[in-house]
Chain A
């Protein structure tokens, strides 16, 4: 069975600082995809960043980057220069050979002015 664990229910960061959200996962497959989704108070689910397991290079999207450690099954999200608009629930998700996404329970990030 595939699982995704987010061990930080809530986090807080000051505006303009950097924060890292943790995610660990478990799968027996060799090829899979990992994703981070953002859910602001509007409730809309927004894809932030994606990583294919076969790619060694960590994905980056503007201020968002990941630290993908395949052997450790770790997929953390780093947000640089945090902005008030980054306040949201963040979900880590895993997709294997089936076309199903397995989500973690989420981390609620508050960016403080």
Chain B
């Protein structure tokens, strides 16, 4: 257990509304990641962070922004949600001798 929680776990929202997902970790990990999981695509990296206020884009960053104002929290924001952003979102941290990533429980987001 890497001490990762995600909130909310489920959310239904309407097109055009802003949405913020939160990832919280308790073990002071430097690297944090946001992925989305869609059928036929596996998991794809949205954004990641390598320290407080240090973030970078991943493979599918359009329409998403992130913020990390303190080590333990990594926020993912959809400024104006679209139906194409309906997905399951996973947060992850990096740890271990082989730099493996450990994942939170996921957030299922539905945009109507």
The interface of chain A, by Cβ under 8 A from chain B, is: 4, 33, 35, 37, 43-45, 47, 50, 52, 91, 93, 95, 99-101, 103-106
CA distance A44 to B40 in the complex (A): 18
Which of A43, A93, A100 sits near B88, CB closer than 8 Å?
Answer: A43
Asked if B58 is at the interface of the complex by the 8 Å CB criterion, the answer is yes
Residues in A with CB closer than 8 Å to B99 are 33, 95, 99
Residues in A with CB closer than 8 Å to B31 are 99
On whether the beta carbons of B41 and A43 are closer than 8 Å, the reply is no
What are 15 A-B pairs at a CB distance below 8 A? A4-B42, A33-B100, A43-B88, A43-B105, A44-B103, A45-B90, A45-B103, A47-B102, A50-B100, A99-B50, A100-B58, A103-B43, A103-B44, A105-B42, A106-B42
Q: How many B residues face the partner with a CB closer than 8 A?
A: 23
- Interface majority SS on B: helix, strand, loop or mixed? strand
Residues in A with CB closer than 8 Å to B106 are 43-45
Residues in B with CB closer than 8 Å to A93 are 43
Contact A105:B48 (CB < 8 A) given known A33-B100, A50-B100, A99-B31: no
On whether the beta carbons of A105 and B45 are closer than 8 Å, the reply is no
User: Across chains A and B, which 7 residue pairs bring their CB atoms closest together, nearest first?
Assistant: A45-B103, A103-B42, A103-B43, A105-B42, A50-B98, A43-B106, A33-B98
- B101: nearest chain-A partner, CB-CB: A101
Residues in A with CB closer than 8 Å to B100 are 33, 35, 47, 50
